[in-house]
Amino acid sequence: MSDDTEWDALAGLAPVAPERTVRYGQHPSQVIDLYGQGNGRRITVLHGGFWREKYDRGHLTPLAAALAGHGYAVELVEYRRVGGGGGWPQTVEDIDAALEALGPPPHVLLGHSAGGQLALWAAAKRERAASARILAVSPLADLRRAHELRLSDEAVSEFLGGEEELVSRLSDADPMKLMPRVPVEILHGTADRIVPVELSRRYTTDWGARLHLLASGHFAPVTPNTPAFGVLLDSLR
């Protein structure tokens, strides 16, 4: 399926309300939705959307509920985004604050797309361990290359504050420049045209992460009941 078809399938799922929501700050976006009990098995989830305000955590609520149905305690994090008080460095400050508010590091920090970049940032830059391991799904793992490709209408430049700020900020933001302090596993579809798989290949070559190639596009791995979602479950186990 194409990325558009996969997005339609994911966006067409009914949103699933959390069991409860907790705050980690005063901004409306500084909240975390909680799903499931998990018997101590915790997954913290960071959504994507090229860091932009118009893409919130809503599209991953079916994923959070599905993971809870498989026996995990799931923490779906919202954060300030470009156009809503976010961008660099506010967005990563929120990720740090959310993880701190959640207490002990989760078993897995799972990030999709731009959320994958945020998870890889946390794996390298947090003073306290981000998690026992990182599972990055279709991540923006190479910001310099993503900028060269002009992905999503200059999204990287927009996130980092414009062309004048971009070069100086890449050293703190680009996963390619940030050595992870915990094990990293990446899932990436070979048919992904939104975030090309070459970004993950470059990251795994440099940092030795495990890369699993999927016969999918960008959204199937985070869409419950797809074959790619089954691979994600296997990776979590």
DSSP per-residue string spanning the chain: --HHHHHHHHHTSPP---SEEEESSSSTT-EEEEE--GGG-EEEEE--STTBTT--GGGGHHHHHHHHHTT-EEEEE----BTTT-STTHHHHHHHHHHHHT-SPPSEEEEETHHHHHHHHHHHH-SS---SEEEEES----HHHHHHTTTTTTHHHHHHTSHHHHHHHHHHH-GGGS--SS-EEEEEETT-SSS-THHHHHHHHHH--EEEEESS-SSGGGSTTSHHHHHHHHHH-
Give whole-number Cα distances, 201 to 10, 71, 206, in Å.
25, 31, 9
Residue type, 101: A
Mean pLDDT value across the chain? 96
Domain carrying residue 21: 3-236
| 38-59 tens-digit pLDDT | 777 999 999 999 999 999 999 9
Report d(CA 9, CA 229) in Å as an integer: 13
56-73 residue pLDDT tens: 999 999 999 999 999 999
CATH number of the domain within which 24 lies: 3.40.50.1820
Total of domains in the chain? 1
Q: pLDDT-derived band of residue 217, with 50, 70 and 90 as boundaries?
A: very high
Chain segment 95-114, per-residue pLDDT in tens: 999 999 999 999 999 999 99
Confidence of residue 163 (pLDDT cuts 50, 70, 90): confident
pLDDT at 132 over 80: yes
Q: What is the pTM of this model?
A: 0.97
Which pLDDT score is estimated for 69?
A: 95
